[in-house]
Structures are given as structure tokens and as C-alpha cells.
Structure 1
Amino acid sequence: MFGFLRKLTLVFSLPVLIFGASFTEVEAGFGITPPYVRNTSLTRHSVYEQQILLVRGDSATAQKAEITIDAPEIQDWITVLEGDEIIMDRGKQKVPMTVQVKVPGDAEFKKYQGSIRIRTVPFDDGASQGAVSISLGALVDISLEVIDKEIKNFRVRRISAPDLNEGSKLAWLFFPGKINFNMLIENTGNVDISPSKVEFRIFDRSGKALLEETKNIGKIQKIIPYGTETVTAELPTRLPAGSYIARYRIYNDEEIKQEGDLNLNILPEGTLQTAGFGFIGLSIAHKISVLLPIFATLIALIYAWQSRARRKRQY
């Protein structure tokens, strides 16, 4: 009877022991995310960066990760910006590693493969001699392709439109308020890009009555390939102070990349210490009213100078 009970206890204890051993292995493990560097839309002279997180289960001691690039055909293209050794300080479970790819101007149009080997070893910060250490590692797969094609595309990550002052008058001229429409843009193509156009349709607070249609003035800053930056589109508005609903559209040439609604608050003139539009924001009629006298004066001066020169030649 006692022998049977001992066998039964052993049967039920084995899964617990195995599970416990597996759990300890996970807790003390090392991994990376994502486990690859991939880009299938590179062109000559492209610069591409990808961040990889080094993750460890036990951060009680300091370690360093030794980096080895194994990509014979493209060895010179690839750099780990943090260096060949990355210190993982005590208490830090996640440490970033940035892989940069620089494609030369004479690269062949084809696919390229390789890998990056990562090995963790104890960091020599005074650890006691004779202590047992376990070295863990991971492998980053490299898969790249250089193509003879321009890809112009982007993704809109986030948008915002801060409060603004209403427009102002100077003599007969009206300088409109300036809407600063901020966009966090990720360039998913392989050439510099920015939104080609931003349109606003501004409604009353109920969202029913259309009060104004406007679009951005001037060019929007471009983002480098594979980069993510906040850029600003500047749109004029001639609406008075008040709260409105703006329905926006962000374009990539003729394609609408994103559209939606946002709240737009226009404050009384002088409320905010921000600059509005200058001459570029004036209406066409007001621009003509400013430029016409200037051009007329210049023409008169040129005519007078030519008349005087002719009289001198006659004498």
C-alpha cells in the first residue's frame, strides 16, 4: 500500500518539477524582438534603420551583449549604432539596439541575406571569481532587397490642431488666422515624401452648416525614407473667434491617406503670442492692391529714366 502511494506521489510530482524547471528557464532566458531586419524596397543610397529590443528574464546582474555581423556580401552596409558591445545594466530588462543599413550607389538590384549574432556574457563589474555564468544568445535574420523603383507612400500616425488667434486687420488689409495642423508621418516609401495637400472644411459647432473651405499654403516639410517625423501644414482661416468642427483630408497626390473630424478653437485676436499669416495669407484682391501701386511706381520710374536717357542722347 505504501509502495503504491509513493509511486502515485511520484507520478503527480513529475509534471510539477518539469513545469517548474521550464518556468525557471523562461525567467532566466534571453530574446530579441523583432528577430529580423527586413526591407524589400531599398534603392541605391538608401539609409534604413531598425530598432531591435534585447530582452532578458533576469536583470539582477549587469551583462553585455557581444554583436557579430555575419553578412559577407553586405558586411560594409550594416552598422550597429551602439557598437560591437552593448551594456545591459543591472535592473534593465530591455535594451534597444539600432541596426543601420546604408546602401551604396553601385549596389546591384537584387536580394541580399545575412545575420547578426548576439551573445550575452557577464559584464566585468567586480563579480566574484569562480561564479558560474551562463552565456545566452540570439540570431537576427537579415533580408534586404534593392530595387530600381521609387515608392512614394506614407502613413499618418497622429494629428492635432492647437488653438489659434483669429485674423487681424491693418488698414484695408485682412491677415487671416493661421491653422497649424500637425501630423506625425511615417514614410513607408523609399524616397523623401510629405503630404501633397491638406484640406479643411470647417462647420459650425453642430457640424451641419459649412462655413469655410481652405487648404494649406506653402510646401510641407519632407520626411526621409523610413523616417517618422512631425510636420505642419499651415492653413488660413477668415472665421471669427469661436468653436468649430473641422473635417480634414490629407492627400498623397490624388489618394486620400486620412480623413476625419477635429475640434477647432479660434480665440480673439491677441490672445496667444503666436504669429499669424503675413503677406502670403492675404487674399488675391488684397495682394493686387498692395503690389499694383508698387509695380506702377516702378514702371513710372523706368519710363522717366529712359526718357531722360533719350533726351541726353539728343543733346
Structure 2
Amino acid sequence: MFKKALAIFIFFVCLTWSSGAQAGFGISPPYLKTDKPIFPGANYEQTITLLRSSAEDELTAKITVNAPEIESWIAIDKGYSFDLPKGQLRVPMMVRVNVPDSAEIGDYKGYINVKIVPKVQSGGSGVSIALGARIDIDLRITDKAFLDFNVRRVSIPDFEQLGTPWKWPIFSWFFYRTKVEMKIENTGNIKVAPSKVHIDVYDLTEKELLESYDDNSIEKVEPFKTETVVASFPTKLKPGQYWGKIKIYKDKDIIYKDKIAFTVMTHGELPSGTKIGVWPWVLLSLYVSLVLLFVYILIRIKIWVYIYLVLYFISFPIRFIWKVVARLIKKLKLKFWKWMHQKASKYQEPPKDEDK
């Protein structure tokens, strides 16, 4: 009875001593696993959040992996020992699984231990209670492909007309575009993207279809990741407000559709400006280079002489007609001035006889 009472007393003393630093600890989620099996050579990432009920002191998290077959596959972005800062109740850590190409097909299990201790432990008779949690590992390696994704968010950003010279057709086709931004969650084990994104642009009354385009070249998202990808469409829209009716396809099935309003502004009205990057300048340099190359080729092969001869013979009828017309005009001028001279001579007074 005395030993039991002593044990309870010691427990409460230790708990009271350590309650300020380690009041409570947990993790979310308490597992490391994928929704679908993954390929050999695949990379998988999962965020696990370390939670504590009090953050009055700075603590240290110590990580150990107990999974003999796959321990070398697992890495922690913060390392196997890192601090939980004072005042921060939630500390995320990224667990990365890099499956080697030589991994055998099958199921792999294990666990990760997370131990929380005070950052600085005093020597001597001080007593501290280390808190901990366990993350279960459950991975399945397969050679079968699973293709699936979810559309989490879709938007059409406002944009503005381009300035000179980028508004010229040779540039605007590439850089004056309506863009649809999509947040795609890849739940499969291979790279994936929507097979097609379709947009119909209407005026505000939705009575007139102004533009209709497809984009089949969407950037793919890595397995088990969520990223924002963009579909872009050439446009000739003038400043104003429009409706964009969007359809997102997976193969031939429509998995998402929505109607979104957006605005086209005149050049200089967009608060953030138009960020076209370096590619317009690259394209301009390419055009100039092509023109210079064409002129250089013409000079090198002395084609100017042949062009002159071709133009000379082609223009022969025009030159002949011009000469005939010029001669006719010259004759008409002579006749006109001769006639004017005759008319004027009639009104001239006859010369006086000086002898009279």
C-alpha cells in the first residue's frame, strides 16, 4: 500500500514538473500510406502535422524509422531531429518516400516513432517525461497503372489588352490569351492531366457566343500531388465583362463544368500589370533573325539580278503602254499650245507704220 501511494505521488510530481512544457501531444494523420498503389521508382510525399496543446516552451522532436525493408526509402524534410518553436502549436513535417526502381512488387509495413523532449535538459536530479506518437507505414508497390484526379478549384483571371507591338497579330496569337487556372489533385500513381479543357465565351446576356476553343495540351501533375495547371486560349476580346462556360474532360467524360465571370481591361488598367515575361522578346528576336537570314540568302545567291530581270520582263507591257501614253500626252500638249498661240494671235494689234 505504501509503495502504491509513493508511486502515485511521484507520478503527480513528475506530471506537475513537466506539464508546462509537454501538456499534450499528437499527430495528424497517424499513418503514412497512399490511396492507390505506387510504382517502383515513384516519389510520394505526405505532410504529417505535430500537434501540442501548449507551446510555452521550445521542444525537440526526435524521429526514428522502424521499417527494415524500406527504411532507406524514407526521408524527413526537417531531418530526424528538429525543434518545435515556442508559441507554435502546429508544426508540419514532410515525409518523403523515394521508391527505388528495383523495388519488388508487394506490401511494405512499418512505423515511425516521434518522440518529444525538452530542448535543453538540465543535469542532476531533474525528471522529465518524454511524449511520443507512432506513425504507421502501409505502402503497396504495384506494376499496374491507376489514373485518376480531382478538380479542386477553377478560375479565370482578369486580364488586359496588350500594348504595342505585342498587340499585333504576329504576337497576340501567342500572348493575348484567356486563361483557365485549375487546381488538380492527382490521386493516381502516374502523371495525369485533363485530356481536354473547353471554353465558350458569351457576352453578359449569354445570348451571343463570341468565342469557342479547346486546349488539349495541359501540363501533367505528378502522382499524389496537388498543383495548379493552366489552359490557355487565343482571344480577340475587347474590353468588357464576359461569361466563360468551362468543361473539363477525362478522356471523353466531362468531370467538371462551371460558368465563371471575368473582365478584359484596356492596356494599363490591370492593377498588377501584364506579365508577359521574356518570350515576346525571344519571338521578336526570332522574327528579326529570320528576316536577316532571308536577306543574307538573297545576297549570297545573287538573286537580286534574277529578280530584276523577271520584273523587267513582267513590266514590259506596262512600260510600253506608258511610253505610248507619254507620247500621246506630249502630242496633245503641243497641239494645245499651238491652238492657244493661234487664238492669242487674233487679238494682237497689227504693227504701226512709222513712216506715216
Same-fold call, TM > 0.5?
yes
Matched, 1:266 2:264: yes
Cα deviation, residue 204, structure 1: 1.7
Partner of 1:119: 115
Unaligned 5+ segments in structure 2 are 1-15, 281-296, 304-356
- Cα distance in 2 between the residues matched to 1:106 and 1:174: 48
- Amino acid paired to 2:152: R
Partner of 1:103: 99
Cα deviation, residue 245, structure 1: 0.8
Cα deviation, residue 169, structure 1: 6.7
SS in 2 for 1:152: coil
- Cα distance in 2 between the residues matched to 1:270 and 1:60: 50
Deviations 1:226-251 (A, max 9, x none): 12222211111233322111110122
Partner of 1:236: 234
Deviations 1:286-313 (A, max 9, x none): xxxxxxxxxxxx9xx99x9xxxxxxxxx
- The TM-score, its normalising length taken from structure 1, stands at 0.72
Residues 46-57 of structure 1 mapped to structure 2, 5 A cutoff: 46-57=42-53
- Cα distance in 2 between the residues matched to 1:229 and 1:31: 28
SS in 1 for 2:40: coil
Deviations 1:157-194 (A, max 9, x none): 22222222358874x87945411222222221111222
2:160 equivalent among 162, 165, 176: 165
Note closer, same or farther for the CA distance 1:204–1:191 as it changes in structure 2 (3 Å cut): same
Partner of 1:42: 38
Structure with higher Rg: it is 2
- Cα distance in 1 between the residues matched to 2:30 and 2:195: 35
- Amino acid paired to 1:225: P
Partner of 1:202: 201
Residues 23-102 of structure 1 mapped to structure 2, 5 A cutoff: 28-39=23-34, 40-102=36-98
Cα deviation, residue 224, structure 1: 1.4
Partner of 1:292: none
SS in 2 for 1:76: helix
- Amino acid paired to 1:32: I
Partner of 1:181: 180
- Report the RMSD for the aligned CA atoms in angstroms: 3.4
Note closer, same or farther for the CA distance 1:134–1:173 as it changes in structure 2 (3 Å cut): closer
Cα deviation, residue 220, structure 1: 2.4
Contact 2:159-2:274 within 8 A present in 1 as well: no
SS in 2 for 1:72: coil
Residues 207-286 of structure 1 mapped to structure 2, 5 A cutoff: 207-216=206-215, 219-268=217-266, 271=269, 273-275=274-276
Q: When you count strand as a share of all residues, which structure comes out higher?
A: 1
Alignment identity in percent? 37
Note closer, same or farther for the CA distance 1:173–1:61 as it changes in structure 2 (3 Å cut): closer
- Cα distance in 2 between the residues matched to 1:133 and 1:254: 61
- Cα distance in 2 between the residues matched to 1:196 and 1:31: 41
Cα deviation, residue 274, structure 1: 4.8
Q: When you count helix as a share of all residues, which structure comes out higher?
A: 2
- Cα distance in 1 between the residues matched to 2:42 and 2:171: 46
- Cα distance in 1 between the residues matched to 2:107 and 2:195: 32
SS in 1 for 2:129: coil
